[in-house]
Chain A
Amino acid sequence: EPEVTQTPSHQVTQMGQEVILRCVPISNHLYFYWYRQILGQKVEFLVSFYNNEISEKSEIFDDQFSVERPDGSNFTLKIRSTKLEDSAMYFCASRGVSQPQHFGDGTRLSIL
């Protein structure tokens, strides 16, 4: 069964550094998403992306965050200058037209 794949599974970064999280959505899906889950808290929406532009974003997704689909298969989340509070699991999701979202297994981001 096709799946969303995310790399790396764990990323450790110094505070203030830039980090890029990578995702390969399910082939033929057109809608792409990033969510995060801080330890012990709910899964929270960050951003959705369709037709090469952001279609919706939350208040968490400020100027420190950006997303990109650099080629036909990858979808990335960049955090420009990481803060301690950015430590969380980051999940990528994708879906087809009129379909539910399918999630990857996440990248655990640890900011030191």
Chain B
Amino acid sequence: QKEVEQDPGPLSVPEGAIVSLNCTYSNSAFQYFMWYRQYSRKGPELLMYTYSSGNKEDGRFTAQVDKSSKYISLFIRDSQPSDSATYLCAMRLQGAQKLVFGQGTRLTINP
């Protein structure tokens, strides 16, 4: 079983739709969870950062962590063409340095 699994897509939705992106993981000891956005030929850009379980909202973005199911989600409301990018989930153990990434989901928002 892969440590972090993420559907690579591609995912294509119309402008204004709500987008749901997900990752599952196998190691229940992960405590820190992140979502990064990566545009073509650019580095990962931090979108959301959460510790342990719960929800976090920032503008049009909401991150959810369900540790009991080992499942994390990122929701994008009122999606815009500028949201078209690859979205990477990443997670870290308490006391560890390395981030473990998912494969990334390629998202396209169609005008």
List the interface of chain A (C-beta within 8 A of B). Answer: 4, 6, 31, 33, 35, 42-45, 48, 50, 55-56, 58, 91, 100-106
Category for how many chain B residues contact A:
20 to 34
Q: Are B36 and A42 within 8 A (Cβ)?
A: no
Closest to B6 in A: A42
Interface Cβ pair total, 8 Å cutoff: 50
Secondary structure at the A interface, as helix, strand, loop or mixed, is strand
Bound CA–CA A42/B45 (angstroms): 15
* B46 in contact with A42 (CB, 8 Å): no
Contact call A100/B97, Cβ cutoff below 8 A: no
Within the complex, which residue of A31, A48, A56, A100 is in contact with B46, where a contact is CB–CB below 8 Å? Answer: A100
Q: How close is A30's CB to chain B, nearest CB, in angstroms?
A: 12
Can you name 24 A-B residue pairings with CB atoms under 8 Å?
Answer: A4-B43, A33-B97, A42-B101, A42-B103, A42-B104, A43-B99, A45-B99, A48-B97, A50-B97, A55-B97, A56-B96, A56-B98, A91-B44, A100-B32, A100-B34, A100-B46, A101-B99, A102-B46, A103-B36, A103-B43, A103-B44, A103-B45, A103-B46, A105-B42
